[in-house]
Chains A and B, each alone.
Chain A
Amino acid sequence: MILAVLSGFLIAALVPFFSKYLKKTIPFVFSALPIVLFVYFISYLNQIKLSSHKMFSYLWVPSMGIDLDFRLDGLSMLFALMITGIGSLVFLYTANYLKGHQYLDRFYGYLAMFMASMLGLVLSDNLMTMFVFWELTSISSFFLIGFNNEDPESRKSALTALGVTGMGGLVLLAGIIVIASVGDSYSFTELLSSPEIIKSSSSYLWIIGLVFIGAFTKSAQFPFHFWLPGAMKAPTPVSTYLHSATMVKAGIYLLARFTPLLGDTYWWNSTLITVGAITMIFAAVHSLFRIDLKSILAYSTISALGILVFLIGLGTEDALLGAALFIVTHALYKATLFLVTGIIDHETGTRDVTRLGGLQKVMKPVAIAGFLAALSSAGIPLLLGFISKEVMYEATFHFGKWAILLTALIVLTKALLFVAGFWVGVRPFTGQLPSEYEKVHLPSPLLWVPPLLMAILCVLFGTAPIIIESFIQSVYSSIMPNAPEIHLALWHGLNWPLGLSALTLALGFGLYFFLKPSNGLLEKTKKFESIAPIELANAFGNLFLGFAKFWTNFFQNGYLRNYVISILIFVTILAGYRLFFGVDIHLDWTQISQITPSELIVVILMVTSIFFALFSPTRTGVIVALGIIGLAICLFFLYYSAPDLAMTQFSIDTLTVLLFMLVLFRLPKNTTFSSRKTRIRDAFFSLMFGTLISVLALEVFEAPSSSEVSDFYAESSYLLAKGKNVVNVILVDFRGIDTMVETVVLVIAALGVLSLLKLDLNPSKKD
């Protein structure tokens, strides 16, 4: 299992080395990955139907309760199949869509990384692991949105998306930590065994608030929806895969996953219903103001996500079943519509719905796919959309107090989405074919087979829902404990939902014939732009940037001496404040060992060089004097039996002197010296800091001379880590993670120096 989850990362890491040799075959090598994974997950399907869930455990950081536990149940299986299934089609589609693109290998690497993170996210049972994968999806999606990295717009969109989802991720992390501290475990399965603990705890509202923000940012709910339309700057396969079928559903997944744990309370239900309802109506209306096919799809996706949040919020048996069904339905028809849009864009070079028409004459199979997907989105009988719509209406209609309002809202949304779906799936293919597109021809089967396949699935599942019934049952039971037996059918008899369906269709058809997409509608919304959430977010961003600029300029004005002074003052005040209250120094002269002549010589050497450094007129003199001080410190380390420290200090000191010599050797001779005033100021700060360090050193005497920690290391370094040099064993074994992070810091520093010195942003200067 772990190999299945992480294989995407492995393959992505290997690409750079082999891409040179695989340029031609790379798409097919990569497409094998999701296909193999899809088959792998399918093989577990029967086990999932029989038992409630299957666990796979791998140790990671057991001491902190963070392990790679994977839980395969109905819900995670549904997502895993969507990720790998739609992934396979998208991977194949890309082979032709981005044929010959110079960064094709990179693109597949990002896609594979994304797929792996998404799989990890939906399969993780450990909340902390899930968070890690959650962030990884944000990061890989950043790369994919900004794939056309030469376009400033696409870079900006990528940054907005990362900003919003990244912020949401941090909030989610806070939520997870609170959950873990209340429930005393990071394991979802363990938490699920006693959900009352969390629901009745005093921090319950905090928990759901934090989880909601995490889910809403990821799933583009109002008012965080604005990053999604921008993210459509990415190539169409990315929009299909990330921004309609999988990643944006991560928030939905999270809510569905937490429903048995946190759900079914007043705040949970009412918040989700409100936010979901606002989002679905708002975005559905918005989608009709667009003329770009992808924008229409972007807003209709947000609206569909709103519907899902709304359904999870209702939380009744029918509503959760409706949500489970609608996740499948939406993924299938929306991915189809996106892929169809991609083909249109690829072949005609435009996505403007007002300029397209009659394309069915030149690309029949694409038209069929688009048409079927639009029908499924509209919820016409014999398609999967119909079944899920019926269940939704059933849910709102029997909700109780607010039934009429909720039903009206969802019927209206559905009617608007009907129009949006038809604009994308039907309109470009019907009517008169503009003469400029007469030469357009059917693209390679790699492009049109994937959408057609998904469209056919819409029909297949719609006409014979029995095929997916048992699978939906297991999805349903993982969202809802003790779920009743379900029965999916085409014909529920003459009842209210059927009437509402007819009403929706009539409304939709009416709107479709009455309303034509036009630029004028978009223009009319312009005046509201100043209060749109995206503007507010941008204003906040600019404010933040301005403040950061001011702050940086204030402290980092480019004079090294000022940096040193501010650091010294800060440390002195911070430590001095603490010492002011609790200093307790008394020197026990009997404890201090005899001063040996060799030590005395070293001290004299140090003091002499300090004064030499202070009064030397040349830079070289100062550097040499400082070097001597460093070496003298080495000697002290040696006297007090710390050979490791002495060795390191010795090398570091040599390097520092060399570095100084390299730079200062070339500088002109000292001509001006600092004034008496600055000298006095510097002397004051130095003395202050020196005093602080001396006081601290004397404080250390007060602490007990031997502690448990050093005893532990001394005793167990050979027993546990087979090393005799305790210092080194601590570095490479006991605290190895620290060392690893420190080396990373070292590398970052080196890269920083390299890019500061070598990067020339002004190429004209070179000549």
Chain B
Amino acid sequence: MKSLIFKTASNYLLPLLLMFSIFILLRGHYLPGGGFVGGLMAALAFMLYSFAFGLKETRNIVKLNPRYLMPIGLAITILAAVSPFVIGLPIMTGLWFEEPLIMVGMVGSALFFDIGVYLIVIGSTLTIMFSISETI
């Protein structure tokens, strides 16, 4: 699977797919999409790249070991869930900023929760895929 076309295409597809996955993540609250699908897409983007250039190359461009994304994502979801607690509301209460953010729309604790899910999905999917393909 080391054809020139595939390699050249995946070089451009990786950033495009990643941007698309973030787009999917952000629009989730209003239109089809969300953290889970977005995360899967981002993971797929990296998988595609690793098929074309090999695992080592992929690990090199990411730098951060994907397994660290799991605790980071978990921490974000938990923080998003307990943040209302700090100001005296029951946990998981949705909190929202008054004004919408440019390009993103309304920002609230649910969005951070989704970002956490996004990171966890990328982290665990890539951990599974990378460790399987490295072992074989």
> Which residues of A come within 8 Å of B, CB atoms?
58-63, 643-644, 647-648, 651-652, 654-655, 658-659, 662-663, 666, 720-725, 727-729, 731-733, 736-737, 739-740, 743-744, 746-747, 749-751, 753-754, 757-758
Q: How far is the CB of A137 from the nearest CB of chain B, in Å? A: 21
Within 8 Å by CB of A648, from B36, B85, B106, lies B36
Within 8 Å by CB of B44, from A651, A663, A728, A758, lies A651
Which residues of A sit under 8 angstroms from B85, Cβ to Cβ? 58-60
- Contact between A725 and B129, CB atoms less than 8 A apart: no
- Contact between B44 and A654, CB atoms less than 8 A apart: yes
Q: How far is the CB of A156 from the nearest CB of chain B, in Å? A: 30
Residue B120 at the A interface, CB < 8 A? yes
Within 8 Å by CB of A647, from B37, B90, B110, B136, lies B37
- Contact between A725 and B33, CB atoms less than 8 A apart: yes
Within 8 Å by CB of A724, from B29, B35, B40, B89, lies B29
Which residues of A sit under 8 angstroms from B32, Cβ to Cβ? 643-644, 647, 725, 727
Q: Name B125's closest neighbour in chain A (CB-CB).
A: A655
Complex Cα distance, B121 from A652, in Å, reads 11
Given A58-B85, A731-B36, A737-B92, check contact A651 B124 (CB 8 Å).
no
Complex Cα distance, B41 from A273, in Å, reads 65
A-B contact pairs, 6 of them (CB 8 A): A60-B91, A651-B44, A721-B94, A737-B81, A743-B120, A753-B131
Contact with A along B114-130 (1 / 0, CB 8 A): 10110011011101110
Given A659-B132, A749-B128, check contact A725 B40 (CB 8 Å).
no
Q: How far is the CB of B81 from the nearest CB of chain A, in Å? A: 6
Given A643-B32, A725-B29, check contact A732 B114 (CB 8 Å).
yes
- Contact between B77 and A743, CB atoms less than 8 A apart: yes
Q: How far is the CB of B126 from the nearest CB of chain A, in Å? A: 9
- Contact between A725 and B30, CB atoms less than 8 A apart: yes
- Contact between B44 and A729, CB atoms less than 8 A apart: no
- Contact between B88 and A750, CB atoms less than 8 A apart: no
- Most A CB within 10 A of own CB, among B37, B78, B89: B37
- Contact between A736 and B92, CB atoms less than 8 A apart: yes
Which residues of A sit under 8 angstroms from B116, Cβ to Cβ? 743
User: Which are the 7 A-B pairs with shortest beta-carbon distances?
Assistant: A750-B124, A651-B40, A643-B32, A723-B29, A724-B30, A728-B34, A750-B127
Given A644-B34, A736-B113, A744-B74, check contact A655 B44 (CB 8 Å).
yes
- Contact between A757 and B131, CB atoms less than 8 A apart: yes
Given A648-B36, A651-B44, check contact A662 B129 (CB 8 Å).
yes
Complex Cα distance, B117 from A744, in Å, reads 10
- Contact between A733 and B110, CB atoms less than 8 A apart: yes
Complex Cα distance, B32 from A186, in Å, reads 41
- Contact between B132 and A662, CB atoms less than 8 A apart: yes
Contact with A along B18-49 (1 / 0, CB 8 A): 00000010001111111111001101100100
Q: Name B126's closest neighbour in chain A (CB-CB).
A: A750
Residue B135 at the A interface, CB < 8 A? yes
Q: How far is the CB of A65 from the nearest CB of chain B, in Å? A: 12
- Contact between A743 and B73, CB atoms less than 8 A apart: yes
Complex Cα distance, B110 from A736, in Å, reads 9
- Contact between A729 and B77, CB atoms less than 8 A apart: no
- Most B CB within 10 A of own CB, among A652, A658, A659, A750: A750
Which residues of A sit under 8 angstroms from B41, Cβ to Cβ? 651
Within 8 Å by CB of A758, from B24, B74, B90, B131, lies B131
- Contact between A723 and B30, CB atoms less than 8 A apart: yes
Residue B60 at the A interface, CB < 8 A? no
Interface size, chain B (Cβ < 8 Å): 54
- Contact between B36 and A754, CB atoms less than 8 A apart: no
Given A644-B37, A647-B32, A655-B125, check contact A59 B90 (CB 8 Å).
yes
Q: How far is the CB of B135 from the nearest CB of chain A, in Å? A: 5
Residue B70 at the A interface, CB < 8 A? yes
Which residues of B sit under 8 angstroms from A651, Cβ to Cβ? 37, 40-41, 44
Contact with A along B53-78 (1 / 0, CB 8 A): 00000000000000100110110011
Complex Cα distance, B82 from A60, in Å, reads 9
- Contact between A58 and B136, CB atoms less than 8 A apart: no
- Contact between A740 and B78, CB atoms less than 8 A apart: yes
Complex Cα distance, B93 from A60, in Å, reads 11
Q: Name A62's closest neighbour in chain B (CB-CB).
A: B90
Complex Cα distance, B81 from A757, in Å, reads 33
Given A61-B91, A757-B132, check contact A725 B70 (CB 8 Å).
no
Which residues of B sit under 8 angstroms from A60, Cβ to Cβ? 85, 90-91
Within 8 Å by CB of A59, from B51, B89, B120, B129, lies B89
Which residues of A sit under 8 angstroms from B127, Cβ to Cβ? 750-751, 753-754
Q: How far is the CB of A518 from the nearest CB of chain B, in Å? A: 54
Q: Name B30's closest neighbour in chain A (CB-CB).
A: A724
Q: Name A59's closest neighbour in chain B (CB-CB).
A: B90
Q: How far is the CB of A552 from the nearest CB of chain B, in Å? A: 23
Given A658-B129, A754-B127, check contact A746 B34 (CB 8 Å).
no
Q: Name B78's closest neighbour in chain A (CB-CB).
A: A740
Which residues of B sit under 8 angstroms from A753, Cβ to Cβ? 127-128, 131-132
- Contact between A750 and B40, CB atoms less than 8 A apart: no
Given A651-B44, A722-B108, A749-B124, check contact A666 B91 (CB 8 Å).
no
Contact with A along B90-111 (1 / 0, CB 8 A): 1110101000000000101010
- Contact between B117 and A743, CB atoms less than 8 A apart: yes
Which residues of B sit under 8 angstroms from A733, Cβ to Cβ? 92, 94, 110
Q: How far is the CB of A49 from the nearest CB of chain B, in Å? A: 29
Given A662-B129, A746-B120, check contact A725 B77 (CB 8 Å).
no
Q: How far is the CB of A305 from the nearest CB of chain B, in Å? A: 36
Q: How far is the CB of B62 from the nearest CB of chain A, in Å? A: 16
Within 8 Å by CB of B117, from A62, A739, A754, lies A739
Q: Name B34's closest neighbour in chain A (CB-CB).
A: A728
Q: How far is the CB of B8 from the nearest CB of chain A, in Å? A: 20
Which residues of B sit under 8 angstroms from A61, Cβ to Cβ? 90-91
Which residues of B sit under 8 angstroms from A666, Cβ to Cβ? 136
- Most A CB within 10 A of own CB, among B78, B106, B124: B124
Given A648-B40, A725-B29, check contact A747 B92 (CB 8 Å).
no
Contacts A729-B110, A750-B123, A753-B127 aside, 8 further interface pairs with beta carbons under 8 A come to: A59-B88, A655-B47, A662-B136, A725-B28, A725-B31, A736-B81, A740-B77, A754-B67
- Contact between B77 and A659, CB atoms less than 8 A apart: no
Within 8 Å by CB of A720, from B30, B33, B94, lies B94
Complex Cα distance, B128 from A665, in Å, reads 17
Which residues of A sit under 8 angstroms from B70, Cβ to Cβ? 747, 750-751
- Most B CB within 10 A of own CB, among A60, A61, A659, A736: A736
Residue B3 at the A interface, CB < 8 A? no
Q: How far is the CB of B133 from the nearest CB of chain A, in Å? A: 5
Which residues of A sit under 8 angstroms from B43, Cβ to Cβ? 655
Which residues of B sit under 8 angstroms from A727, Cβ to Cβ? 32, 34
Q: How far is the CB of A589 from the nearest CB of chain B, in Å? A: 32
Complex Cα distance, B123 from A59, in Å, reads 33
Q: How far is the CB of A660 from the nearest CB of chain B, in Å? A: 11
Which residues of B sit under 8 angstroms from A720, Cβ to Cβ? 94
- Most B CB within 10 A of own CB, among A59, A658, A743: A743
Complex Cα distance, B119 from A17, in Å, reads 21
